[in-house]
Structure 1
Amino acid sequence: MSSDEFRPVYHPAGHDAELRAVVQELRTGRWMSMRNLLADTADWASWTRRTQVLAAAAAGTDTVHIWRTEEPHSAAATVMHARVAVERAVRAHRDRHPETANLWHEAWEACQVCIGQLPDDPVPWVCLLALSPLDRGRRMPEHRVPPPGPMLFPGPWGLLGEVAKRDPDCREAHQRMLQFVYSRNPRGSLPEAVNYARWATASAPAGSPVHVLPLYVRVERYRRERGQDRALDLHWVTDDAIRDALAGLRNWFEYADPADSSLLDLSHLAHALWGAHQFSEAARVFRALGPYYAPVPWTYRMRDDHDDIAQGAQELFLRARSRCLHAPSA
């Protein structure tokens, strides 16, 4: 297929073919393939990633409820029950639904049950981190723990620590912490997010997806500053921006297996390298994406008055991909 004919595909499962098939089954109300997939999932990174994707697909259905009714002693069903409850609460909070408080309480209780039954599993602690932005008044003591270092903020550090005890390199936990930061003070939280990303990457081992975290913060800053009206601007070609993009490439991508990588991480890295004019390096990431695509952060390049933001973002992705793949030595 020529570059002119190429059209990327978005799927939340990305390169995980087994997960893609299960998501399709789940959407038709079938749960046995989900059970079998999770039974065959051997590492915490895959377990966390797969349960997150499955919960997003299952949140609008009663599939997990049916599974849990059929197999009430299933550990995986207990985890998925907590995952779905948290997904529903987070969505309700985002949509300002009047049932948010009740859904939040149900989700918190589901996490506690999960912790009691599965003390070694990081996912219920990740779920509690996902719920932390709902506590806007920081009424719960677990959401205002003193920080572990200077230039950081009071927050759910104990929850993050519980995840780290079980999975020291949990990608989702750090993404959830960023969401908590943004919920603290939406207008003034960017410096805190920058400091958090620096703190997290400082101790992250080579190959950790945590090294992509600064690129998410940079995209959020760009989005807030309304820089979308220029295809390439100085925000992406400063020394700091180039350093962050190359650090993501060298400290994470060089070690990453696309089959186990988040499409969002790959998309943010490709976007950052392209924006920093590191075209041949970006080409490697575009190749790793293969036929897949994540709309974010490309949608943030679109003006709000664009006729079709989704289509415009995809066209921008295709232009960036083509530019990088045709770069010298790409």
Structure 2
Amino acid sequence: MANGEFRPVYHPAGHDNELRSALQDLRTGRWLAMRDLLESTPDWTRWTQRTQVLGAVAAGSDAVQAWLTEEPRSVAAVVMRARVAVERAVRAHRSGHPSGRQLWQEAWEACRSAAHTSRADPVPWVCLLALSQLDEGRRLEEHRLPPPGPMLFPGPWGMLAEADKRDPYNREAYHRMLQFVLARKTGGSVSEAVNFVQWASSSAPDGSALHVLPLYVRVERYRREQGHEKALDLHWVTEDAEREALRALEIWFRRSPAATHTLLDLNHLAHALWGALHFAEAAAVFQELGPYFTSLPWADRSRSPEDPGGAEEVFVRARARAFAAARDPGRGPHG
């Protein structure tokens, strides 16, 4: 398809065809495909990814409750109940809904039940980390434990340690910690986030998605600087930005199986390489994305970040530029 005709697609399942099929059934209130998919999921990486996507869709229906009613001893159903409860609590908190506190309590209890029922599973602890960002005042003691290293912040480190014990360097667990620090309304949270992702990625093995974390913080910093910095595009071509993008490309993208790559990570990497003018390198990431894209981080580069069409336009333009550079490598190391 010609670049001028290309239109990207958003689908939470991305290239995971089995997940896509389960989501289709779930949207009609049927849960059997979800159960069968989870029973056949081979590792914690995909288990975490799949339960997260399924939970976001299932939060709008009673499918998981129907599953539990039918199969009360199903461990997967208990874990999915926690996913759904957390998703509902986070949505209520964001919208300021009066049921937020009650949903938070229900979610906390569902997570504790899941942790007790599925003891080897990182997801209940990931869910508790997701809930921690709702405690913006850090009232709960478990959300202000001493950090494991210098330059880090007090936070839910015990929960991260529990997730890490079950699935070392679990992608979502570390993203939830990043969201926790960025949710703080007091100053300094971006610098604390920088320290956190440097700490996390410095110890992560080759192939770990944690090597993409610095790209998320750079996008957050860009978002917060808008309106205060004249030459915003220079944000992406600094020596640090280029190093972060190329490191994620080399240490994560090229050293891990494509089946483990999330759409969000791929979009952040393609965006970072494009922003750093490494167009030919970005082309390989766009190639793996195929027809899929996510609104973030592209929306922040559009004239109207709230307009999904703006994000799509930036994505299509960046993709075309990258493929043009890949077709004409003689244009220099940056395309």
Give the TM bin, normalised by the shorter chain. over 0.9
The alignment status of 1:316 with 2:314, answered yes or no, reads yes
User: What displacement does 1:248 show?
Assistant: 0.6
Report 1:120-199 matches (<5 A). Answer: 120-185=120-185, 187-199=187-199
Report 1:277-316 matches (<5 A). Answer: 277-304=277-304, 309-316=307-314
Q: Secondary structure at the match of 1:134?
A: coil
Runs of 4+ in structure 1 over 4 Å off: 227-232
1:89-113 Cα shifts (integer Å, max 9, x gaps): 0111111111111000000000111
CA contact (8 A) 2:132 2:143 kept: yes
Report 1:261-272 matches (<5 A). Answer: 261-272=261-272
User: What displacement does 1:141 show?
Assistant: 1.4
Gaps of 5+ in 2: 330-334
The 1-side partners of 2:192 and 2:208 are apart by 21
The 2-side partners of 1:281 and 1:25 are apart by 38
User: What displacement does 1:243 show?
Assistant: 0.4
The 1-side partners of 2:186 and 2:233 are apart by 24
Q: Secondary structure at the match of 2:3?
A: coil
The 2-side partners of 1:175 and 1:66 are apart by 30
**Greater mean deviation of Cα atoms: 205-214 or 113-122:** 113-122
Residues 178 and 104 from structure 1, CA distance in 2 versus in 1: closer, same or farther, beyond 3 angstroms?
same
User: What displacement does 1:51 show?
Assistant: 0.2
CA contact (8 A) 2:152 2:196 kept: yes
The 2-side partners of 1:53 and 1:193 are apart by 25
The 2-side partners of 1:59 and 1:187 are apart by 33
The 2-side partners of 1:282 and 1:42 are apart by 30
CA contact (8 A) 2:226 2:232 kept: no
- Once superposed, what is the RMSD of the aligned Cα atoms? 1.6
User: What displacement does 1:228 show?
Assistant: 11
AA in 1 matched with 2:168: P
1:29-74 Cα shifts (integer Å, max 9, x gaps): 0000000000000100000000000000010101101011010000
* Residue in structure 1 matched with residue 332 of structure 2 by the alignment: none
* Residue in structure 1 matched with residue 76 of structure 2 by the alignment: 76
The 2-side partners of 1:95 and 1:278 are apart by 39
User: What displacement does 1:7 show?
Assistant: 1.1
Q: Secondary structure at the match of 1:9?
A: coil
CA contact (8 A) 1:229 1:303 kept: no
The 1-side partners of 2:108 and 2:294 are apart by 30
* Residue in structure 1 matched with residue 36 of structure 2 by the alignment: 36
